[in-house]
Amino acid sequence: MKNQDDIYYIDRVLEGDVSAYAVLVSKHKNLVFSIALKILGNREDAEELAQDCFLKAYQSLKTFEKKSKFSTWLYRIVYNAAISKTRKKKLEFVPMDNYIIHNYTEDEFTAGIDEIDAEEQKVMIERAMQNLTDDESLLITLFYKGENSIEEISNITGLSMSNVKVRLHRIRKKMHEELSAMMEKRLN
Amino acid sequence: MEKDDLLKDDFIGRLIKDSSPEQPSDGFVDNVMEKIRMDPEMAQVRQPYYVILRSVIPYLILALICALIFFTSDLPFLNWLPGKEYWSNTFLPYFEMIFSGVKNALSSKYVSMGILIGFSVLFLIFIDHIMMKRKGSFRHHTLV
């Protein structure tokens, strides 16, 4: 449904209605900016890169074949441009045993955090996200905020699907531990 | 499917979704649209050369030409299979003529020099073409 909306506006742009592109920019600006920011680590650079990527996407709109979602295509442009700008290495495969995954019970955690009010929950989750590495933060943003599937994230980042899945699983557990530690601190 | 598995009872996911996203400055959309107004040219889609082979039209034209030759000429199409006699008496003398002509032409030093220069120029154009192609692909590597 969401992608159908994008296609509608893309068609309008291709028919000559340039102002329709503003709708697409407005809809995707936060995620595009987030991706750029997570890779570049600087708000000014991220904003400039995000704007350039929107311009680049506009100029290449005729080459968008509509086989994938517009957002996936756009995020891939941003990801590649940001990686090129920083000359940073692309996301790498990390073997499974690099992290120690502790056991936890989901119910205990959920019950505990439910007692905390929404504002404090937001602060806690933002603090936990700050403790993630840039790569981890990027993946979690693409998955949860961008609502991209494993396959789409794989297309954007060039990681294999199984690698994306493993990494997301690991990041979730890592965040779970961070939040559990924060809650313990709060209770004590 | 995989996403569903990961999202199952995903409390963390819900919290992350609810958290406020990073936002660019207020004038972001206007700035992008301004950049587009300054440089509104859209890149044209370059059709790969092999796409023409997928079209029906060249094959139709070829079939029409064949049909035209077949129905208008008086060539013996139905007994066209050449025998050994045909090769030795008709075909080979032609080749012999062509080769002797080429041999005569190449025996002149001016012709040889001309051919050498021609080949050198073609080789340089070919190298230049390859180098420009590679440079172009680097320039556009960030685009999907």
User: So what's the pLDDT on residue A90?
Assistant: 56
Q: Is residue A76 part of a domain?
A: yes
Contacts of A69 (CB under 8 A, 6+ apart): A2, A3, A6, A152
- Considering only CB atoms, B22 lies closest to which of A34, A59, A151, namely A34
Q: Which range (A96-100, B73-77, B92-96) has the least confidence?
A: A96-100
* Domain end point (choices A86, A112, A147): A86
Contact A145 B32 (CB under 8 A): no
A135 & A180 share domain: yes
Q: Is residue A101 part of a domain?
A: yes
Domain boundaries, given as residue ranges, for chain B: 51-139
User: So what's the pLDDT on residue B25?
Assistant: 87
Contact B33 A25 (CB under 8 A): yes
User: So what's the pLDDT on residue B117?
Assistant: 92
Please say whether the dihedral angle defined by the alpha carbons of residues A110, A115, A118 and A121, taken in this order, is positive or negative. Answer: negative
Which amino acid makes up residue B31? Answer: N
Distance CA B111, CA A32 (A): 64
CB atoms within 10 A of CB A32: 30
- Whole-structure pTM over 0.80, yes or no? no
Contacts of B142 (CB under 8 A, 6+ apart): A56, A77, A80, A81, A84
Looking at residue B91, what DSSP letter applies? I
Instruction: Dump strand ranges (E) for B18-80.
Output: none
Residues in chain A within 8 Å Cβ distance of B35: 51-52, 54-55
CB atoms within 10 A of CB B127: 10
User: So what's the pLDDT on residue A99?
Assistant: 44
Contact B29 A121 (CB under 8 A): no
- Considering only CB atoms, A122 lies closest to which of B19, B24, B35, namely B19
Distance CA A96, CA A100 (A): 9
User: So what's the pLDDT on residue A115?
Assistant: 61
Q: Is residue A91 part of a domain?
A: no
Cα angle B127, B140, A4; round to 5: 140
Looking at residue A101, what DSSP letter applies? P
Closest to A135 in 3D by CA, of A108, A118, A156 = A156
Please say whether the dihedral angle defined by the alpha carbons of residues A150, A156, A161 and A164, taken in this order, is positive or negative. Answer: negative
Read off the pLDDT of each residue in B90-113 and give the average, rounded to a whole number.
84
Distance CA A164, CA B80 (A): 64
Closest to A181 in 3D by CA, of A83, A115, A111, A104 = A104
Query: Per-residue confidence of chain A (188 residues) as pLDDT tens digits?
Result: 466 688 999 999 999 888 899 999 999 999 999 989 888 888 999 999 999 999 999 998 888 888 888 999 999 999 999 988 886 555 555 554 444 444 445 555 555 556 667 677 777 777 888 788 888 888 888 888 888 889 999 888 888 888 898 888 888 888 888 888 887 777 66
A151 & A77 share domain: no
Quick one: angle between helices A70-86 and A150-157, nearest 10? Answer: 40
CB–CB of A100/A168 below 8 Å? no
ipTM: 0.72
User: So what's the pLDDT on residue A3?
Assistant: 64
A117: phi then psi, degrees, rounded to nearest 5: -70, 160
The answer to whether residue B138 scores a pLDDT higher than 50 is: no
Q: What is the domain extent for residue A13?
A: 2-86
Chain CA centroid to CA A122, Å: 17
The answer to whether residue B136 scores a pLDDT higher than 70 is: no
* Domain end point (choices A42, A58, A86): A86
Q: Is residue A68 part of a domain?
A: yes
- Considering only CB atoms, B43 lies closest to which of A26, A59, A169, namely A59
User: So what's the pLDDT on residue A29?
Assistant: 92
The answer to whether residue B90 scores a pLDDT higher than 70 is: yes
A80 & A22 share domain: yes
The answer to whether residue B7 scores a pLDDT higher than 50 is: no
A81 & A153 share domain: no
Contacts of A164 (CB under 8 A, 6+ apart): A139, A150, A153, A154, A157
CB atoms within 10 A of CB A161: 15
A61 & A124 share domain: no
Distance CA A85, CA A159 (A): 19
Closest to A74 in 3D by CA, of A41, A37, A36 = A36
A80 & A101 share domain: no
* B17-73 tens-digit pLDDT: 777 667 898 889 999 999 988 887 777 766 666 666 677 888 899 999 888 877 776
Q: What is the CATH number of the domain that holds A77?
A: 1.10.1740.10
Contact A63 B45 (CB under 8 A): yes
